[in-house]
Amino acid sequence: MGSLLRSSIVTAVFITTSLALSEEWEGKTLVIPVRDSDVASATKIREFGKMLDAARESSVAGIVLEIDVSESVGWDQQRRLLELLAANEAPTVSWIKSTATGPGVLLALAGDRIFLTESGIIGAGGLPQPASEDGEKASDPFAQERSILLARVRSLAKARGHRAIVAEALVESTRELEIDGEILSDAESALTLTAEEATATFGGEPLLAEGVVGSLKELVKRAKLSEETVRISPRDWSEQSHRDRLSEATKSTETPAESAESEEEGETRGDGIFTKRDQESYEGKVVVFEVGQQELATGKSNFEFMDRVLRQAQVDGAEAVVFEMDTPGGYAWYTEGLVLNSLQDVSIPTYTFVNTRAYSAGAIIAIGTDEIYMRPAATIGSALVVMGTGADLPEAMNDKVTQAMIATVRNVAELNGHNPDVAQAFVTRDHAVEVD
C-alpha cells in the first residue's frame, strides 16, 4: 500500500495564515483580495461564493473586494461568477488595486461603490473571441453567450447603481460609447479606463468610479466602513473551513473513551483525525499518488487510503496533489465516490499527469482534478462502464448506469473547467464531440 503514495518537498513554501473564523466577522469589514487564481475555474468560483455566503450569515459590516484580476476566462466561469455576485447582499466596495480586466470587470461592477488606486485600470472584459476566418460571423452559441453576458452585466450594473451603458461598453467590443456628445470608445475594442478616466464627471456624476485611494485605511474612511477589518483570501478561507469541517466531522464520530485513550497513548494528531501511522506531515509538500496497473482494480481499500491521504493533505496544508497515471482502470463506483466527494472536498490544487495511460476509472479521476497534463504519446479515455469480466452490461442496466455516469462526469468536468462533452464521450459510445 505504501507504494501508492510519494511525498516530495517543493520550492514553494506554504505559509499557514492566522485566520479569523467567520463567526468572528460580525460587525467588521471583510477585506477579500481577489486574484486570477480565485476565478480561474468553476471550483474556485464556487469556493468564493461559499465565502460570500459565510460573510452574509456572519453579518459583516461590509465587504471590500480588493481586485487584481487580468486573465481571461470562458463563459461558464463568467456565468457562475455573475450569479454569485448578483446574489451577494452585503454592502460591498470594489477597490481596483491594480487591474480589473476580463472577469475583473464583473467583480468591480459587483460593488455598490468603486474606487481605484492611482495606477488602477478597468475594462477589456467580455468573452474570449472564438477562432474564425476573417469576415466570418460569430458562431450562434458564442453570439448567444455574449448576448446573455451583456444582459446580466446591465442588470448587475443597474442593481449596484452604475451606468448600464458604461458597464456594457466595458465588456463589448462592438459598442460605441458616447456620453454628453463625447465619444469615449469606438466600436473596435472594449472600453478600458484609467483611474482618472473612470472618475471623470459627466452630467454631474462620475463616469464609473467614486474616487482614487491609495491605501486600505483611506478606503475604509472614504467609504465609511467599519475600521475593524479582517483580511483573508478565498483560498485561505476555503482551506481553513475545509480543515475545520474535516476535524469536526471526525471528532463527532469519536467516543469519549476513544478520545481519552488516544490522547493518553499519544497516537492522535492535534486535529484528532489521523492515527499513529499517518503522523507524517504533508505541509508544504506535493503529494503524489502513483496509480498503476492494479491500484484501481484491487478493491475498496486503495480508494479509502487515497481518501484518507487527501484529507490529511488538506488538513496539513499540502502544496498540491498529483495523480501520476499509468492505469487501465478499475472499479467505477469507488471511483465515482472519490471524484464526487474526496476530490471536490479539498481546496488545494489537484493535478493529473498521464504518464502513458489513463483509461476507464483513471480518466474519470483525471476529470475530477483541476488540471490535466500528458506526456507525449500518452492516451486518456475509454471509460465505458462494463462488468468485472470486461463484458458489456445487460441492456436495461447499461442505460441506467450510463446515464448516471454521464451526469456525474459532466457535472464534475464543468466544476473543474474541463469540456463536459469530452467527458461524456469518455463514458458512452453514443455521444459525438465537435470542436470548432
In percent, the amount of the chain with pLDDT more than 90 equals 33
pLDDT band at 270 (very low <50, low <70, confident <90, very high): very low
List the single range of 70-84, 218-232, 373-387 with lowest mean pLDDT.
Answer: 373-387
pLDDT tens for each residue of 235-254: 888 877 766 665 655 554 44
Non-local CB neighbours of 2 within 8 Å, separated by 6+ positions: none
CA distance 131 to 313: 40
Quick one: which of 23, 93, 106 has its CA closest to 64?
Answer: 93
pLDDT band at 10 (very low <50, low <70, confident <90, very high): very low
User: What does the pLDDT read at residue 247?
Assistant: 61
Helix, strand, coil shares of the chain, percent, nearest 5, are 40, 20, 35
pTM for this structure?
0.62
User: What does the pLDDT read at residue 245?
Assistant: 62
pLDDT tens for each residue of 159-218: 999 999 999 999 887 777 878 777 777 666 778 999 999 999 998 899 999 999 999 999
pLDDT band at 275 (very low <50, low <70, confident <90, very high): very low
Non-local CB neighbours of 98 within 8 Å, separated by 6+ positions: 67, 68, 117, 119, 120, 121
User: What does the pLDDT read at residue 248?
Assistant: 58
pLDDT band at 121 (very low <50, low <70, confident <90, very high): very high
**Mean pLDDT over all residues of the chain?**
80
End-to-end CA distance of the chain: 44
Give the CA distances from residue 303 to residues 300, 323, 333, 354, in Å, rounded to whole numbers and listed in that order.
Answer: 5, 13, 10, 19
- Mean pLDDT, residues 88-113: 95
Q: Are 343 and 323 in contact (CB under 8 A)?
A: no
pLDDT tens for each residue of 375-423: 988 899 887 776 554 555 566 566 767 787 888 888 888 888 888 889 8
- Mean pLDDT, residues 115-123: 96
CA distance 104 to 117: 15
Does 103 score more than 90 pLDDT? yes
User: What does the pLDDT read at residue 299?
Assistant: 66
pLDDT band at 4 (very low <50, low <70, confident <90, very high): very low
CA distance 196 to 13: 38
Does 227 score more than 90 pLDDT? yes
Does 285 score more than 60 pLDDT? yes
Query: Which ranges in 140-278 belong to alpha helices (H)?
Result: 140-160, 164-171, 195-198, 216-223, 234-251, 256-265
Q: Are 75 and 145 in contact (CB under 8 A)?
A: yes
Does 259 score more than 50 pLDDT? no
List the single range of 8-22, 79-93, 110-124 with lowest mean pLDDT.
Answer: 8-22
